[in-house]
Amino acid sequence: MSALVDPALLSPALAHPETVLGALDFAGVAVFAATGALAAAREKHDLVTFGFFAAITGVGGGTLRDLLIDAPVFWVQDWRYIAVCLTSAAVVWMIGAGAWRFRALLWLDAVGLGAYGVLGAAKAEAFGVPPLICIVMGALTACFGGIVRDLLAGQPSILLRREITVSAALLAATVYVVARYAGLDQWPAAAIAAPAGFLLRGGALLWGWSLPAFPGGLVRKS
């Protein structure tokens, strides 16, 4: 696929925050950036590290997506994304310490999984990527920044947790792609898909939902 994509192929909803998908894009960056700043807060880092954690979490997944689909990296083209990340970091810093921080991180992560699962799939769709790969791009967009955040913070990666996380992003992306191929416009498809991903992750947080583990276990040699 060529790196030069006709701008006419791209939905304006992916570029302007006043549109539904554009607002979802900026919201997803903001909430993931906040989770990065909260992870820095847990480790009692300084303000510079707050900003770094926020930025790499906020734009990490979208950066990987754009590189894989041969698109211009979104935050390089638009300074507002980094500004949103730094603003989220500053807000978390000013709010200060509190026992609520870890729960806030989990719920903000749930919002981000739903929003960015949709956004990743939508941008891949705009670049003519096949439906199955659109779903994969949605999951990568939603999860990769969190994986980097956890590695930097020395926390267990979301990939290694039994609780539902990646599955929520996959659900949001899948519902969006199916809705689009069923004929729905972008905004109603997003309005169905993003809450679906959030509700799945929210159910996991409230009731401990998880996928079944491999039943075989380790086989020991005698």
Q: What's 214's DSSP letter?
A: P
Residues 172 and 38: their CA atoms lie apart, in Å, by 24
Report the sign of the C-alpha dihedral through residues 152, 106, 62, 82, in that order.
negative
* Window from 19-28, 40-49, 131-140 with minimum mean pLDDT: 19-28
Mean pLDDT computed over every residue of the chain = 84
Average pLDDT over every residue of 36-42: 88
Residue 222 has pLDDT above 60, yes or no: no
Residues 6+ away with beta carbon under 8 Å from 18: none
Residue 5 has pLDDT above 50, yes or no: no
How do residues 193-204 score in pLDDT, each as one tens digit? 999 999 999 999
Which pLDDT score, from 0 to 100, does residue 208 have? 86
Closest-CA residue to 26 (of 83, 106, 92):
83
Residue 4 has pLDDT above 80, yes or no: no
The pTM (predicted TM-score) of the whole model is 0.83
Point out which residues pair with 210 in neighbouring strands. 163
